[in-house]
Structure formats: C-alpha cells, structure tokens
Amino acid sequence: MRNADRLSLDKMGDVLSADAHTLACCSGGPAVVAFDLSATPAGRKENDIAPGPVSASLRTDNSCIPDNWNANLTRPLCQFQQVARHSGANPMVPGMSLAPSKGVRGDAHPIPTNIITGGDMMKRTLTAICTAGIALGVGFAALDASAQTAEDFYAGKTIRLISSTGAGGTMDLYLLLFMKYAQKHLPAGTEMVLEHRTGAGGIVGMNHMFTAANKDGTEFGMPTPSIVTNTFTQPDATRYVPNEFTALGRLVDLPRVYVARADSGVSTFEDAMETPLSHSILAIGTSTHQVMAAANDVIGTQFRAVPGYSGGGPAFLGMEQGEVQSTTAEPANLLVNKWHLVEDGTLNILGWVGIDPIDGLSDYPSLLDLTPDDHALRGVVETVSNTAAIGLSLIMPPGVPQERTDYIRDLLDTVMRDPELLAEAAERQIPINHATGAWLQERLEADMGQPEDVRDWFLQLSQQ
C-alpha cells in the first residue's frame, strides 16, 4: 500500500475515534474504531489470496471512551467475506470470478458468480473498501465533505446569480439590492456576480438553471413570475420542472391592479361586465393577457385585448393617453407615481389580482375573492393569482446539498430583514414583501398540481 494510503487510513482512524461513543459496529454492541486495513489487502495482492477478516478494537488514547468499557474489546469490521477472487486482473472490470467463502462467524454466504445484486453490494460495502483503493479515496472525500459546514464551503467562492430578463430592468433592481446587503452576511472572500441569461420570456434562463447550472450551491437565480405558466403555454420549449427547483424565497410580489379611464363610464368590475373596454396588454399569452382573460372567463368582464405594448409602463401610458380604455398596473407605480390620476377622477380602480392584500387598496375586491370555490375555472384564477404572488423570487437548481440550500435560504431571510436594506428600499420607494422558501415551494407545488383543463386553458389562450 502506498504511503499516501497509509496516511489516509491513519487520518480516518482519528476522525472516527473523535465520535467513538456514538458509533456501532456492523452487528451492534459497543463501538470500536481502531483498525488496520493495510496488511490484508497487501497480502491479497502479493500472495493472490482472498482477504481475511479485519477486526476493530478500542483506542486507549480516546478520551471519549467510557471508563467502564473493556479495554480489550474487539469487533469484526469486515464480517461479510464474500469477495472477488484475485485473478491478476483489475477487480473493478467485468469478467472477474466470484465465489462464496466463509464469513467471520464461519457461515457460508453463497453468491452468484456472474452478477452482484444490490443487496449483496450493501452487505459487502466494508469489504469493498478493503479491496478497492479507489473506494478508499471516495470514502475519505465523503468524510471531508460531511465535516465541512456550508459557511466553510462558501468561504472564498464566487456565487453567480442568474437573471432571466435583460439588464437594467426591475429584476436587476432587486437582484443588485439583495447582492449589496448579502455581502455583509457572507464569509470573507466570497463574491457575488450577476449574469443575464435571457430569451423566450425567461425560459432560456430557467432551462439553464435546471439543466446546466452548477449543483454545488454556487449558482442560483431569479425566474420570471411565469415560471409555472410557461410550462403550460410552451411545453416544447421548457426543459425544467418548476417544483423540482429548490425555492429560496421571495423578495417582492407583483400583483396587478385593474384600472379604467373614468370617461369610459366604468368604475367597478360589475360595470365592466356590462360595458366592453379596450385593454392594453404586452402580447398574446403573456401574464398581462392571462390576467385580463381570466376576469373575462370567470366573472364575465368584457375587456378586449389590444396587444403590442413593450412593457407595463407603455401599456399604462397608452391608457393614460387615450389609446385604450383600461389596463392592469403595478401597485407600486400606481400608488407612488400615478395616484394623482385616481384622486382627480381621471382613473377608476376596479380590483386586483394576487394573493397578499395590497396596502392602500384594501377597499377593492380581488379576482380570487370574486371567484366561487366550485367554479370550473377556479384553478385558472388560483394560478394567475399565484403567478402574481411568486413575483420576484430566488430559486436554486435541484440536487444541491440540503445544508447549502438551507444556508442560502437563511441568508435571504436575514438580508430581507436587514434594517439598512429596508431603510434604503423605503427611501428609494422600492416595495419589499419577503416570503420564505417554504412558502414559495408551496406555491410552485400548488400550480403544478392543477388539472389538465387548467393547463389547457393557458395553452389555448397562448395560441389565439
């Protein structure tokens, strides 16, 4: 055995002995941790014989051992001695000869000579460590990884945050604000960088996150609110499963407020059921179209889509200038920048769509509240409401170790409660409505659990 291997074995004994009082051998009973794996594998290799049993004993220098334990206590370490018979070839390749041999207790354990079953492999895990040097390397790497905390892992790393929309927009505003204050709470030497992966309404970024992003916890990002409905409207383009992402949490929700020009004669949802209204949207099948169509199909409003606007701002401006009679607005923009149009009687607020009540708009009804529980399209309204509630959130690729996802979840929770962040957001009039990763995961699960008729509604709408 190479000197490096012997050092690794010594190190393994030290690691194990530190927790001796918590360990148990294969067949139960008091824990023993001192063992020598070097002699038997060497004997097998040099003398062409199968390895014999390996025993473990107490280490007398281990302070964790209780005083009432027998100092001469031993236990068989490799007690399932069903092994590959050495033939001079690499034992890790097909064609090796397998034969039954006597176990430590003298019991015969016959195994097939052509295959190794899952159950047999489990029984012979420790024997595999004795006979395969590569297995030792994997085992020691696993021990080192398990001993490393998430904070240790992130120290000195570069974390990439993926934006699924173009630079300079609302998503960047929130990501950069988060990154600024996250740096205070990360280990020394850890850096965060922003990367844009845009296209197909956010699908390109999420496809990358699901299929190609690093699964070690150094890459996570912000999807568009339509992360779920994109899989309904463009099933051939999406290569991700929304609820298989790990939800980290939400920075802000993005509800929509239905507004109409006062000169249209419409001031309530009930009026909109009687009077047709031209209504600005971005494009057919987008979230602005979905919100409008859901109201039409569920409560009977008569909004008439006028597509072609490049964003929420231009869509609102089009209504303000008289190009159309109604639209849906972002509450932050409406309450901060456009509220004078409500106060002077130019605009009327009809209601809103989302989950969380909107400060300042509590007197107006939500579309969800107006939808009967037994309505055939209740699931449609739930989904568009959840889309608004998901807002601007952070998610992590599937497969990241749990302790690292927990660490980033805790980081987000801490940052979004940071008094300095909240003070800056208030000064800059940036709305904050944080929700936990567990809450966000429930929203993704709920939307993905909708029946086929709800999914078909979104698909058919996108094909109009």
Question: Strands of 326-329's sheet, edge to edge?
Answer: 303-306, 277-280, 326-329, 256-261, 347-353
pLDDT at site 199: 92
The pLDDT tens digits along the chain (464 residues) read 333 333 333 443 443 333 333 333 333 444 666 666 544 454 455 555 555 666 667 666 666 666 666 666 666 665 444 444 444 444 444 443 333 333 333 343 343 334 444 444 444 444 444 444 444 444 444 444 456 899 999 999 999 999 999 898 899 999 999 999 999 999 999 999 999 999 998 999 999 999 999 999 999 999 999 999 999 999 999 999 999 999 999 999 999 999 999 999 999 999 999 999 999 999 999 999 999 999 999 999 999 999 999 888 899 999 999 999 999 999 988 998 999 999 999 999 999 999 999 988 989 999 999 999 999 999 999 999 999 999 999 999 999 999 999 999 999 999 999 999 999 999 999 999 999 999 999 999 999 999 999 999 999 999 98
- DSSP state letter for 140: H
Q: Kind and range of the H or E element at 5?
A: helix 3-17
pLDDT at site 387: 96
| Cα–Cα distance, 246 to 243 (Å, whole number) | 7
Give the Cα-Cα-Cα angle 146, 149, 153 (nearest 5 degrees): 100
| Cα–Cα distance, 195 to 21 (Å, whole number) | 48
198: number of CA atoms within 13 Å, CB side?
Answer: 10
Q: How far is CA 131 from CA 75, 101, 137, 360, in A?
A: 19, 15, 12, 71
Domains of the chain by start residue, with CATH: 3-147 (no CATH), 151-253+391-462 (3.40.190.150), 256-387 (3.40.190.10)
Torsion 428-432-437-442 (CA) sign: negative
pLDDT at site 99: 38
| Cα–Cα distance, 26 to 93 (Å, whole number) | 28
| Cα–Cα distance, 403 to 410 (Å, whole number) | 10
> What does residue 147 show for φ and ψ, rounded to 5 degrees?
-80, -15
Structure tokens at 149: 């905390």
pLDDT at site 61: 67
| Cα–Cα distance, 445 to 132 (Å, whole number) | 43
| Cα–Cα distance, 415 to 135 (Å, whole number) | 41
